[in-house]
Amino acid sequence: MTKAVSLLVARETQAWVEALYDNGAVTFEADGAVKVNPKVRDIISQMHDVLSAGNAEKKANLEKTFDDALVATSKLGAKMGSATLSI
């Protein structure tokens, strides 16, 4: 089941996300694909481990959801053009 989510983003949050991008947390390939810095990906995996409290199924779900988000974002990037960061 899909949840409707509304996320308000303050300009400071946008500035933080842009700083992550500017400092190499993620990159956009020429084809629009999103690539996550391996060091950042490791931190995200560790976060998933903490959030799942050792439950392998929950961690796998968090990992899959993250990977699905990257694939979907890459598809959008391919349609909109590379290096598009819109918040």
86 within domain boundaries = no
Residue with tokens 């959030």: 51
45 within domain boundaries = yes
pLDDT of residue 87: 58
Average pLDDT over residues 55-75: 95
Output the pTM of the full model. Answer: 0.79
- What single-letter amino acid sits at 54? G
24 within domain boundaries = yes
Domain that holds residue 59: 11-80
Neighbours of 2 (CB within 10 A): 4
d(CA 44, CA 59): 11
87 within domain boundaries = no
d(CA 63, CA 65): 5
Whether pLDDT at 82 is above 70: no
d(CA 87, CA 85): 7
Q: Structural domain tally of the chain?
A: 1
Whether pLDDT at 1 is above 80: no
